[in-house]
Amino acid sequence: MPKVYLFTDGNEDRLQLGNKGANLVTMTKLNLPVPPGFVVSLGAFAEYKRTGQLPMKEIEAALKALQRRMGKRLGDLMVSVRSSGPVSMPGMMDTVLNVKNEGHIISCIKAVFESADSARAVEYRRINNIPAEMAGTAAVIQAMVMGNADQRSGTGVAFTRNPNTGENSLFGEYLPVAQGEDVVSGRRTPMNIEAFRQQLPEAYAELNRIGHVLENHYKEMQDIEFTVERATLYMLQTRSGKRSGQAAVKIAVDMVKEGLISTEQALMRVTHTDLDALLHKRVDPSNTIKPLTKGLNAAPGAATGKVVFDVREAVEWAQRGPVILVRPETSPDDIVGIHAATGVLTSRGGLTSHAAIVTRAMGKACVCGASELNVDLGAQQFTVGGRVVKRGAEITIDGTTGNVYLGALPLVEAAIYGELDELLGWADQNRRLGVMANADTPEMIRQAIRFGAEGVGLLRTERQFNEPDELATIREFILADSPVHRSEALVKLRKMQRNDFVEIFKALDGRPVIIRLLDLPLHEFLPHEAVHDPGIRSRIEELQEVNPMMGHRGVRVGVTYPELYQMQIDAIADAKAAVSNANALIMIPQIITVQELLWVKKMVKDPSAKVGIMMETVRACMRADSLGSTAAFFSFGTNDLTQATYSFSREDVEKKFLPYYLDQGILMDNPFETIDVNGVGKLIETAVKSARKANPDLSIGVCGEHGGDPRSIHFFHNAGISYVSCSPFRVPIARLVAAQAALDEKDRLIRLTRDD
Ligand code: ADP
Ligand code: MG
Ligand code: MG
């Protein structure tokens, strides 16, 4: 296999040429103005790592060809030596410009190869989960064009669409009389591309035309690096552009309308992180506080936090609360600090500076080029006009507008808008999993519906008992000293619960709601503070448990205090009678045997009422066949089921050894965040299989937090789960990921990676 490829050879193999190299070849093929050059392949890189040798013969031949092409004599030719990895890592590896003699041309190739293992490249790969196999780089050797030749020369970076908003028009920056690195590094703040249009209208028109050619070819928004030498435009790089979540959605939807891609492709292109970013907070629009200063709106979303200047301090402080990293500019060495911060503020650099690109990709708020800011790293403070803001002070940055405020401003949650609504509509047409919400109040329910939830998959009744009146009444019930008092308390509770359910049914307007009967152990409702009444004290002691998580809770309470569950069941029936389109299902927690289910079902008078169970004990999973033929539905409570499978108490282990286990690689993931496919997942699969054998139509959901976790959603889809239920804010993400899981199943090849 050859180790060196001329651009004109036409080989576009990314695994040999890397992205930059392969895209330069593609642009050459498309007859775009690319300075000629060649690529020393990833194969050569691997051999260099093994033997320390470069393929000298091939390199020399390629150089000769380049000299002939340029009509230059040996020694006159100037080239750049650039890295080109199979995964793009902007600014992470070395690039050397203006290389003149051949011996230097060779040491630069070595330097580029060595830079693949630099500390910052390694760190970047770690943060972005880029596997070690993708760690290599090719070297691109390319004839120089001089952006600093005269006044009609310069260099720039452009996106074919706006990477913040997604708007379909050329977006970028231009720096006259300059060479490439000046823009990317943020050392000089470049001018808006509009100024370039005015200065060099023909070169601008050419850039615009090329943008369309590239988009038509790649079917993706492109991030272009170009240089102008004496008013002639040259293309130096193109790749799929990083973008904000908002832009990702708009671009995907627009490209469907422009006929560039299908709806399925659009759905695969928007990632759950994009939506996460999009569902970011904003500064409350009713805010009247004036901004301290304004910079460029580099990455959307608002963030509040304490000012830090030092990267290591950012990491440390972030453990205790949000921080905003403030720097004159950021560099690849700051990656860890940016990762830890909730937002980044810089005084220099434009919309294509390092800080802007990195935060946008990470979904963090960023304001950059806030030029009134005087950042004093030595004194650990910044000043604006006369005002001094010290390390540790709270500020708010709004990456959507560019505003910077003193203090922590109130932020508001995001909403679903036009294009997102459209995209999620396509998701709904493609997904098989139902998406419900875990919501306890009418307000949460309305939010969940706005986000597209089909109903409520888990309504916890504990919340109702924590309202002051209810709490007092359930205490009356627990502490009652006579049957009369006890039933008086129950009558009051039934009325209160009924009224609550009425409001809930109204909010749902006919959509289903799965109401879980009381799950908490009774002592949770009793006062924790010192109690003087000896009668009450002894009752509290009586109810106290060594291990309440595994104690007298869930259906066990319902069996031993049947009047409590009866009261809840009756309250649901009362409310149903009052709201004509109510669609309520009853769910029993902590079931271990079908006998418990039958016990509670006897209390339900309405023969049409659906009574299902929560699957959260290991035994229930093992008895899924008999439970499946008796229950109206299953819903896996994956949190408790994970605790039961591991014999872990979540709160305790997350505080104590779990971080250490993850650090040491003993466990790969926190099983409470993403479903443990090999353990808990096996249990779920087994239960689903045997339950469906007994009852093929059984609806089987998941209502643990895993229901909103993207990786877990893929697993649930493949395991044949009927629906997931998650917190309202994760509903849009669940809708998208459920569609992606279905599309993945349909055709795994459809998957397009967005980053080249
Ligand atoms: P990175 O991968 O970090 O973006 P590049 O290899 O793209 O680094 O180089 C950075 C910049 O250097 C380019 O955007 C371009 O402006 C400039 N540059 C690289 N090669 C040449 C060249 N042959 N002629 C003129 N400028 C170049
Ligand atoms: Mg580049
Ligand atoms: Mg539970």
Q: What is the pLDDT of residues 241-259, one digit of tens each?
A: 989 888 999 999 999 999 9
Q: In which band, very low, low, confident or very high, does the pLDDT at 97 lie, cut at 50, 70 and 90?
A: confident
Whether 184 has a pLDDT exceeding 70, the answer reads no
Ligand 3 centroid distance, CA of 680 (Å) = 15
Q: Which domains does the chain have, with CATH numbers?
A: 1-144 (3.30.1490.20), 146-243 (3.30.470.20), 282-412 (3.50.30.10), 443-594 (3.20.20.60)
Q: What is the pLDDT of residue 524?
A: 83
Taking CA atoms only, the protein residue closest to ligand 1 atom 15 is: 180
Q: What is the pLDDT of residues 270-321, one digit of tens each?
A: 999 888 777 778 888 778 899 999 999 888 889 999 999 999 999 999 999 9
Q: Using a CB cutoff of 5 Å, list residues around ligand 2, an ion.
A: 225, 237
Ligand 3 centroid distance, CA of 549 (Å) = 9
Stronger pLDDT, 104 or 453, i.e. the higher one: 453
Ligand 2 centroid distance, CA of 663 (Å) = 34
Lowest-confidence region among 566-575, 659-668, 734-743: 659-668
Closest ligand to the CA of 157: 1
Q: What's the distance, Cα to Cα, between the start and end of the chain in Å?
A: 24
Distance between CA atoms of 245 and 163, rounded to whole angstroms? 9
Mean pLDDT over residues 506-522, rounded? 95
Q: Alpha helix locations (H) across 554-675? A: 555-560, 562-578, 594-601, 618-622, 624-630, 638-646, 650-655, 658-663
Q: What is the pLDDT of residue 510?
A: 98
Whether 751 has a pLDDT exceeding 60, the answer reads no
Q: Alpha helix locations (H) across 10-151? A: 14-29, 42-51, 56-70, 102-115, 119-127
Structure tokens at 107: 């040491």
Closest ligand to the CA of 95: 1
Q: Residues 6 or more apart from 200 whose CB is under 8 A from it?
A: 152, 228, 231
Please report the atom of ligand 1 found closest to the CA of residue 92.
3
Please report the atom of ligand 1 found closest to the CA of residue 180.
16
284, amino acid identity: D
Distance between CA atoms of 128 and 117, rounded to whole angstroms? 15
Among 84, 227, 232, 755, the mutation site with the greatest number of ligand 1 atoms within 8 A of its Cβ is 227
Q: Residues 6 or more apart from 727 whose CB is under 8 A from it?
A: 437, 438, 439, 705, 708
Ligand 3 centroid distance, CA of 704 (Å) = 8
* Neighbouring-strand partners of residue 389: 382
Distance between CA atoms of 460 and 545, rounded to whole angstroms? 22
CA atoms within 13 A on the CB side of 639: 13
Distances (CA, A) of 421 to 203, 248, 253, 732: 38, 13, 10, 9
Q: What is the pLDDT of residues 432-488, one digit of tens each?
A: 999 999 999 999 999 899 999 999 999 999 888 877 888 899 999 998 889 999 999
Q: What is the pLDDT of residue 74?
A: 61
Closest ligand to the CA of 82: 1
Please report the atom of ligand 1 found closest to the CA of residue 142.
23
Question: Under a CB-based contact definition with an 8 Å cutoff, are residues 452 and 428 in contact?
Answer: yes
Closest ligand to the CA of 236: 1
Please report the atom of ligand 1 found closest to the CA of residue 146.
25
- DSSP-based three-state secondary structure for 389: strand
What's the pTM value of the predicted model, to 2 decimals?
0.82
Q: What is the pLDDT of residues 586-641, one digit of tens each?
A: 999 999 999 999 999 999 999 999 999 999 999 999 999 999 999 999 999 999 99
Ligand 3 centroid distance, CA of 559 (Å) = 17
Among 94, 185, 237, 353, the mutation site with the greatest number of ligand 1 atoms within 8 A of its Cβ is 237
Stronger pLDDT, 497 or 466, i.e. the higher one: 497
Taking CA atoms only, the protein residue closest to ligand 1 atom 13 is: 180
Among 82, 89, 144, the mutation site with the greatest number of ligand 1 atoms within 8 A of its Cβ is 82
Taking CA atoms only, the protein residue closest to ligand 1 atom 9 is: 95
Q: In which band, very low, low, confident or very high, does the pLDDT at 107 lie, cut at 50, 70 and 90?
A: confident
Ligand 2 centroid distance, CA of 223 (Å) = 9
What is the Cα Rg of the chain in Å?
31
Structure tokens at 125: 């790969």
Among 19, 113, 236, 358, the mutation site with the greatest number of ligand 1 atoms within 8 A of its Cβ is 236
Number of Cβ within 10 Å of residue 82's Cβ equals 27
Q: What is the pLDDT of residues 349-399, one digit of tens each?
A: 888 788 887 887 677 899 999 999 999 999 999 999 889 999 999 999 999
Distances (CA, A) of 735 to 429, 453, 456, 730, 740: 10, 9, 14, 9, 9
Bridge pairing between strands 365-368 and 296-299:
antiparallel
Ligand 2 centroid distance, CA of 107 (Å) = 20
Distance between CA atoms of 571 and 340, rounded to whole angstroms? 48
Phi, then psi, of 225 in degrees rounded to 5: -110, 130
- Average pLDDT, rounded, for the chain: 91
Q: Residues 6 or more apart from 410 whose CB is under 8 A from it?
A: 283, 284, 287
Question: Under a CB-based contact definition with an 8 Å cutoff, are residues 470 and 496 in contact?
Answer: yes
Distance between CA atoms of 62 and 434, rounded to whole angstroms? 58
The residue from 339, 354, 706, 717 that is catalytic is 354
Ligand 1 centroid distance, CA of 83 (Å) = 10
Residues with CB under 6 A from ligand 1: 35, 80, 82, 90-91, 95, 97, 142-145, 155, 179-181, 184, 225, 227, 236-237
Taking CA atoms only, the protein residue closest to ligand 1 atom 24 is: 144
Q: What is the pLDDT of residues 723-742, one digit of tens each?
A: 999 988 889 999 999 999 99
Closest ligand to the CA of 83: 1
**Which string of DSSP letters, residue by residue, matches 280-310?**
--EE-TT--PPPSEE-EEEE-SEEEEEEE--
Taking CA atoms only, the protein residue closest to ligand 1 atom 3 is: 91
Contacts by 6-10, CB closer than 8 A, 24 or more apart: 6/36, 6/37, 6/38, 6/62, 6/65, 7/34, 7/36, 7/37, 7/38, 7/39, 8/36
Among 38, 88, 181, 756, the mutation site with the greatest number of ligand 1 atoms within 8 A of its Cβ is 181
Q: What is the pLDDT of residue 749?
A: 47
Distance between CA atoms of 342 and 359, rounded to whole angstroms? 9
Please report the atom of ligand 1 found closest to the CA of residue 237.
7
Closest ligand to the CA of 140: 1
Q: Residues 6 or more apart from 551 whose CB is under 8 A from it?
A: 521, 545
Taking CA atoms only, the protein residue closest to ligand 1 atom 23 is: 144
- Does the active-site annotation cover 368? no
Ligand 3 centroid distance, CA of 749 (Å) = 38
Q: Residues 6 or more apart from 538 whose CB is under 8 A from it?
A: none
Please report the atom of ligand 1 found closest to the CA of residue 155.
16
- Does the active-site annotation cover 706? no
595, amino acid identity: Q
Whether 35 has a pLDDT exceeding 90, the answer reads yes
Question: Under a CB-based contact definition with an 8 Å cutoff, are residues 329 and 358 in contact?
Answer: no
Ligand 2 centroid distance, CA of 283 (Å) = 34
Q: Please give the DSSP secondary-structure letter assigned to residue 518.
A: P
Taking CA atoms only, the protein residue closest to ligand 1 atom 6 is: 82
Q: Residues 6 or more apart from 313 whose CB is under 8 A from it?
A: 391
Q: In this structure, is the dihedral angle defined by the CA atoms of residues 296, 297, 299 and 304, taken in order, positive or negative?
A: positive
- In the block, tokens 């790649």 appear at 218
Taking CA atoms only, the protein residue closest to ligand 1 atom 19 is: 80
Taking CA atoms only, the protein residue closest to ligand 1 atom 18 is: 180
Whether 538 has a pLDDT exceeding 90, the answer reads no
Among 118, 184, 223, 234, the mutation site with the greatest number of ligand 1 atoms within 8 A of its Cβ is 184
Q: What is the pLDDT of residue 756?
A: 46
Please report the atom of ligand 1 found closest to the CA of residue 225.
14
* Neighbouring-strand partners of residue 343: 324, 365
* Neighbouring-strand partners of residue 225: 157, 237
Taking CA atoms only, the protein residue closest to ligand 1 atom 16 is: 180
Structure tokens at 245: 């979540």
Taking CA atoms only, the protein residue closest to ligand 1 atom 17 is: 180
Phi, then psi, of 114 in degrees rounded to 5: -65, -35
User: If residue 615 lies in a helix (H) or strand (E), which one and from where to where?
Assistant: strand 610-615
Distance between CA atoms of 685 and 702, rounded to whole angstroms? 12
Q: In this structure, is the dihedral angle defined by the CA atoms of residues 642, 648, 654 and 660, taken in order, positive or negative?
A: negative
Distance between CA atoms of 204 and 193, rounded to whole angstroms? 9
The residue from 108, 366, 368, 703 that is catalytic is 703
Mean pLDDT over residues 39-45, rounded? 94
Taking CA atoms only, the protein residue closest to ligand 1 atom 20 is: 80
Q: Residues 6 or more apart from 484 whose CB is under 8 A from it?
A: none
Structure tokens at 664: 């040491």
Q: What percent of the chain has pLDDT over 70?
A: 97
Ligand 2 centroid distance, CA of 237 (Å) = 6
Lowest-confidence region among 38-47, 362-371, 406-415, 524-533: 524-533
Taking CA atoms only, the protein residue closest to ligand 1 atom 22 is: 144
Distance between CA atoms of 224 and 130, rounded to whole angstroms? 23
Ligand 2 centroid distance, CA of 84 (Å) = 9
Structure tokens at 322: 């949000």
Ligand 3 centroid distance, CA of 640 (Å) = 5
Closest ligand to the CA of 554: 3
Question: Under a CB-based contact definition with an 8 Å cutoff, are residues 430 and 424 in contact?
Answer: no
Q: In which band, very low, low, confident or very high, does the pLDDT at 186 lie, cut at 50, 70 and 90?
A: low
Mean pLDDT over residues 28-35, rounded? 98
Cα torsion through 46, 47, 49, 55, rounded to 10: -120
